[in-house]
Structure 1
Amino acid sequence: MSTTTETLKSQWEALKAENPHMRIRNAAEKLGVSEAELVATSIGEGVTRLRPEFAAILTEVEKLSKVMALTRNDECVHERKGVYLNPDFSSPHAGLFVGEDIDLRIFLSAWDKAYAVVEKGEDRDKKSLQFFGKDGLAIHKIYTTRDSNDAAFDVIVEQFKSDNQSNEETTVAVPLDIDEKPDSEIDVDGFKAAWIDLKDTHEFFGMLRKFGVTRTQALRLAPSEEHAHKIEKDAIVKMLEGAAAQKLPIMCFVGNRGNIQIHTGLVRKTMWHNNWFNVMDPDFNLHLDMDKIAQTWIVRKPTEDGVVTAIEVFNEMGEIIVQFFGKRKPGIPELTEWRELVASL
């Protein structure tokens, strides 16, 4: 272990002793390094570097049985328990897991590093597979539960163990793509017409690229206030509490540049903890830092199944934090109760 890595390991140990409950992501930020660099300091002591064969590793995860999938960005954490079913990595654009519980859209071009992590616990060890980008930022983590097959975890670790078990970790900065053209350079009339002519919500991203607009710029330039209008961020709390009270199934999308994780179903228990608003259900947890929300919008897109209504939440950089929809599937109109709940906001 190099002197630099040894020093970093010591700094992290001191930080953990001082703040036992500090999350590793926050510790990395405080120490001015990436999370992957902190994880790598423990290689050989509960951490194993895996070969970056991401699709192959993920395809084996079903054998773990019920696990907890975690995807997050700086402002929101999405945790969903279930089994990784129906993997599909045939598309060059995005890999998929499509199940009632684990529902992911995976962009492997952003994935760069993989580790298996075993943390000693009093009654059971905490085991996880952790994946990071080139910049060392966490993209996706998979934790075993009491219902998991721990022996299958050990087999996966042995199967994909890298020959390189060095504690050294290299990272490179990944530039943010948030440049926004002036509105005067946008074909605003063409853009509005394209929005009105949408047939599927999945066409929206392609439309943004075609007209060279950022997502928040698109909402500003929407055809009308009926298509997109700003609301107060507190409306998110009202919506989640309302959905819980009405037993109204929703969809909740949280992602980063490498993965989008989706919950479809009910939310039951909601609660505040400091500045975080949380859903704390047995198989679904959501943690949303309300202080970091810069913009919240109601967005309506026409489709062949009727209008689809979303609540889209952004940080100060214009990056999307979380999206909410009413539960729906292609070919089925969205729930009237969802439209009414959003309209009440």
Structure 2
Amino acid sequence: MSTIIESRSFTLSEAWKGVQSAKPGIRIREAAKELGVSEAELLATKLHDGVTRLQGPWPELLNRFKTLGKVMSLTRNNACILEHKGPFQDVNVMGEDTRAMATVIGPIETRVFFSGWHFAFAATEEKSDRVLKSIQIFDRSGEAVTKIYLQEKSDEAAYEKLVDEFRAEDQSRELDVEPYALDVHNGPTDADAFLNEWSELKDTHDFFGLLRRHQVSRYRALELASGRFTFQVNAKVTPKQILDNASVSKLPIMIFAGNRGNLQIHQGKVRTIRLLDRGHTGAEQWLNVLDPDFNMHMRMDLVHTAWVVRKPTTEGDVTSVELFDKEKNLITQFFGLRKPGIPEKSEWRALVHELPAL
């Protein structure tokens, strides 16, 4: 390791200590933003001090999560975090190389896109009176993709074996992070043809292919379909109203939140809903689901627009509510819980019908 790299790592590590001293309890993600670096770069300063860099193959690493027993799986984007406790029960890998992806089904449910997996670490951290052990995955820009935390009943021996077997040869503190270019979709060239294809959808999963074929962003698609397949609802009221009503009526719902490398899904009922102010200035407003094996934390102050979206399928229309931030990035999607081949529940449609339209 060069003297320059060592010096930069030491300087960044000292700067992190300074931020922690000035703002006790600050999370690593927020500290990284203040220091103008990625979270992965900041975590890498702890290599040889409770942090170990891991390597792939990523599908094999994901499959080994099954050996850990009950864990907590965390997936987030800038405005929403989903946390589930349970085992990685059923893992299925499909495709190869950059097209490889996987489905995880069971108490923890995710859709994994390995093209977004670039850095991985095992981390042991002391927080208050606890020792937290985790596996943390990041994309090539250093943004967190997913984090897996051991729980009281996790298999620590399996964790240590995983860390030993997937330990990377390169344990340098310097990471070669690379920002992503902005995704620019200027389509569709033919809006009528796009909307006509939308009207002929047979499955909700076909929507992704529709966007790709017409080279149109998700948000632009919702704008084009406004009044026909989509309409806006009050963004500041909608998320809490959905969760409150689903909690009171015990209606099972689906919540999707993700990023480039991971999409985590909640399927089931929600019970304890809380709206809280957080952050050092109190400006952050968080909408929370605080259930025993499922937590959601959403930054309501970052929710800018909310859309009701209708997609035709062979079982009838499927209705979602989709939240976006000011930059038109997708934050979260809500659906009524349904299984393939089963029509959407009328109770979910009634709940969506009650949302305050703009």
TM-score (norm. length: structure 2): 0.92
- 1:44-59 mapped onto 2 (5 Å cutoff): 44-59=48-63
Q: Number of paired residues?
A: 341
* Cα displacement (A) at 1:58: 1.1
Correspondence for 2:296 among 286, 290, 310: 286
Q: Residue 229 of structure 2 aligns with which residue?
A: 227
* Cα displacement (A) at 1:335: 1.4
Alignment partner of 1:144 is 2:150: yes
Q: Residue 127 of structure 1 aligns with which residue?
A: 133
Q: Residue 310 of structure 2 aligns with which residue?
A: 300
- 1:186-205 mapped onto 2 (5 Å cutoff): 186-205=189-208
User: C-alpha deviations, 1:159-211, integer Å up to 9, x for none?
Assistant: 11112111122211111204434xxx631211111111110001111111222
Q: Residue 17 of structure 2 aligns with which residue?
A: 13
- Tell me which amino acid in the other structure corresponds to 1:341: L
Correspondence for 1:318 among 325, 328, 336: 328
Conservation of the 8 A alpha-carbon contact between 1:129 and 1:143? yes
CA distance in structure 2 between the partners assigned to 1:276 and 1:123 by the alignment: 25
Say which is worse superposed, 89-98 or 284-293, in terms of deviation: 89-98
- Tell me which amino acid in the other structure corresponds to 1:125: V
Alignment partner of 1:42 is 2:46: yes
Q: Residue 276 of structure 1 aligns with which residue?
A: 286
Alignment partner of 1:168 is 2:170: no
CA distance in structure 1 between the partners assigned to 2:199 and 2:103 by the alignment: 31
CA distance in structure 1 between the partners assigned to 2:80 and 2:63 by the alignment: 26
Say which is worse superposed, 53-62 or 242-251, in terms of deviation: 53-62
CA distance in structure 1 between the partners assigned to 2:107 and 2:81 by the alignment: 16
**Structure 1: stretches of 5+ with no match in the other structure:** none
Alignment partner of 1:259 is 2:259: no
Q: Residue 79 of structure 1 aligns with which residue?
A: 83
CA distance in structure 2 between the partners assigned to 1:294 and 1:16 by the alignment: 31
User: C-alpha deviations, 1:206-235, integer Å up to 9, x for none?
Assistant: 11122222111111111x625200011111
Partner SS, residue 202 of structure 2: coil
Conservation of the 8 A alpha-carbon contact between 1:96 and 1:105? yes
Conservation of the 8 A alpha-carbon contact between 1:76 and 1:321? yes
Alignment partner of 1:250 is 2:253: yes
Conservation of the 8 A alpha-carbon contact between 2:88 and 2:106? no
Q: Residue 282 of structure 2 aligns with which residue?
A: none
* Cα displacement (A) at 1:100: 2.9
Report the CA distance shift for 1:178/1:306 in structure 2 as closer, same or farther (over 3 A).
Answer: same
Q: Residue 281 of structure 2 aligns with which residue?
A: none
CA distance in structure 2 between the partners assigned to 1:180 and 1:122 by the alignment: 49
Partner SS, residue 245 of structure 1: helix
Q: Residue 214 of structure 1 aligns with which residue?
A: 217
Say which is worse superposed, 122-131 or 18-27, in terms of deviation: 122-131
* Cα displacement (A) at 1:97: 3.4
Alignment partner of 1:238 is 2:241: yes
Give the root-mean-square deviation of aligned CA atoms.
Answer: 1.4
Q: Residue 156 of structure 1 aligns with which residue?
A: 162
Conservation of the 8 A alpha-carbon contact between 1:94 and 1:105? no
**Structure 2: stretches of 5+ with no match in the other structure:** 278-284
Say which is worse superposed, 45-54 or 244-253, in terms of deviation: 45-54
CA distance in structure 1 between the partners assigned to 2:26 and 2:184 by the alignment: 30
Say which is worse superposed, 169-178 or 130-139, in terms of deviation: 169-178
User: C-alpha deviations, 1:233-254, integer Å up to 9, x for none?
Assistant: 1111111110011111101000
* Cα displacement (A) at 1:18: 2.2
Partner SS, residue 70 of structure 2: strand
Q: Residue 280 of structure 2 aligns with which residue?
A: none
CA distance in structure 2 between the partners assigned to 1:31 and 1:122 by the alignment: 24
Report the CA distance shift for 1:323/1:246 in structure 2 as closer, same or farther (over 3 A).
Answer: same
User: C-alpha deviations, 1:59-90, integer Å up to 9, x for none?
Assistant: 11111101011110111111111111221113
